[in-house]
Amino acid sequence: MSPELRCLVVGRSPTPDPGVLARLDRGVELVGPGAGVGEGRIDCIWRLFGGRLEEAPEDPLEAGLKAHPGVLWVHTVSAGIEHLRPLLVGYPEVTLTTSAGVVAVPIAEFVVACLLHHCKRLSDLDELQRQRRFEAVPLRELGDLRVVLVGLGAIGNEVAKRALALGAQVIAVRRRPELGGGPHKLPVVGPEGLTEACRGADALVLAAPLTGGTRGMIGDQQLLQMAGGSALVNIARGGLVDEPALLRALAGGPLAAAYLDAFAEEPLPDSSPLWTARGAHLSPHVSWSSPHFARRSTELFLDQLSRFRQGLPLQNAADLARGY
């Protein structure tokens, strides 16, 4: 008897959690990962990380869609979709869903770690230790910070939850301010209010998707409004920031620190001036990392799979026109 539903798995990581997959409903067959475009009928595709398969002439998702014109749904393990838009605009019948929210907790913790690192001047303390100098340095409390949070999705809300718990004042910037300040009832402004919101801010946290409207949204106008000794934290996409403007703000502007986990070009080239910029703290796009990632992403996919089989609305449906 042929299965009721067949799903092609493309990509290499994370390895789907076997304990969660053991709960897969009968009548559902997963083909792959690493099985090329699959044989026979394919109803949906689960896209993992790991782009190209060995010796594959094209992206396995693109190959799978070409080989199986009946596919109606693609679920991606990523939260962002800017890299998928060029492919999926050619498949208007396909619904794309994302894993938005799966990594919200570890990313929010990473943001708080950056803010605490900044307030407690851990780099300066490390340098004093290296020089064997027993000197006091003035520190700050995170509760004294005025934080501008750009983006109020799952990640933004988790950041707000933790920052508020530590006493910080948080104002949110979102594309549709009429939707309000989320579960924490934050004061909120639209993109047109971003520059004014940055005036005197102690920290600017970027948690927005990369779209045509957000590319380069952080530049001289915004950074020069920040308070002296302030910090930028970018755990979203490098393209949100005008890099030359950021370097100017670090070299002679108000920024004392920039915590960058995302870059316009990844891996970051050896030639990038960010490697040696004063106050720049770089990490290789790992703020999402967690030992729970495989389990959470697999649980979300199985829930989506159940909804798909029953004809129920899918979670995290992406809008290709909006870019998220």
- What is d(CA 6, CA 35) in angstroms, rounded to the nearest whole number? 13
pLDDT on residue 34: 54
What does pLDDT average to over the chain? Answer: 94
For the ranges 34-43, 176-185, 221-230, 308-317, which has the lowest average pLDDT?
A: 34-43
- What is d(CA 247, CA 253) in angstroms, rounded to the nearest whole number? 9
Instruction: Identify the band that residue 36 occupies on the pLDDT scale cut at 50, 70 and 90.
Output: low
**What secondary structure, in 3-state letters, does 222-273 show?**
HHCCCCCCEEEEECCCHHHECHHHHHHHHHHCCEEEEEECCCCCCCCCCCCH
pLDDT on residue 39: 76
Whether residue 237 lies in the annotated active site: yes
- What is d(CA 102, CA 107) in angstroms, rounded to the nearest whole number? 10
Which is catalytic among the residues 266, 278, 292, 322?
266
Return the structure tokens found at 80: 């962002």
Task: Calculate mean pLDDT across residues 260-277.
Answer: 97
- What is d(CA 265, CA 273) in angstroms, rounded to the nearest whole number? 13
For the ranges 46-55, 137-146, 310-319, which has the lowest average pLDDT?
A: 46-55
SS3 of the chain: helix, strand, coil, percent, to 5? 35, 15, 50
pLDDT on residue 33: 67
- What is d(CA 196, CA 105) in angstroms, rounded to the nearest whole number? 29
Per-residue pLDDT tens digits for 288-321: 999 999 999 999 999 999 999 999 999 999 999 9
- Cis geometry, peptide bond prior to residue 92 (ω within 30 degrees of 0): no
**Identity of the amino acid at 205:** V
- Going from the N-terminus, what domains does the chain have, and what CATH number goes with each? 5-101+291-310 (3.40.50.720), 104-282 (3.40.50.720)
Instruction: Identify the band that residue 55 occupies on the pLDDT scale cut at 50, 70 and 90.
Output: very low
Whether residue 285 lies in the annotated active site: yes
Longest dimension (CA), the chain: 75
- What is d(CA 244, CA 241) in angstroms, rounded to the nearest whole number? 9
For the ranges 47-56, 154-163, 228-237, 252-261, which has the lowest average pLDDT?
A: 47-56
pLDDT on residue 202: 98
Q: Report whether pLDDT(54) > 70.
A: no
Q: Name the nearest CA neighbour of 197 among 233, 232, 172, 224.
A: 172
pLDDT on residue 59: 83
Q: Model-level pTM? A: 0.94
Which is catalytic among the residues 52, 140, 175, 285?
285
Q: Report whether pLDDT(239) > 70.
A: yes
Burial category of 99 from C-beta neighbours within 10 Å (exposed 0-12, middle 13-18, buried 19 and up)? buried
CA distances from 52 to 36, 58, 235, 301 (A): 10, 7, 25, 21
Do residues 150 and 208 make contact, with C-beta atoms less than 8 angstroms apart?
yes
**Identity of the amino acid at 3:** P
Instruction: Identify the band that residue 145 occupies on the pLDDT scale cut at 50, 70 and 90.
Output: very high
Instruction: Identify the band that residue 116 occupies on the pLDDT scale cut at 50, 70 and 90.
Output: very high
**Identity of the amino acid at 97:** T
Q: For 90, list phi and psi in degrees, rounded to 5.
A: -85, 0
Task: Calculate mean pLDDT across residues 8-12.
Answer: 91
**Identity of the amino acid at 320:** L
Q: Nearest 5°: CA angle at 116, between 140 and 168?
A: 70
Whether residue 266 lies in the annotated active site: yes
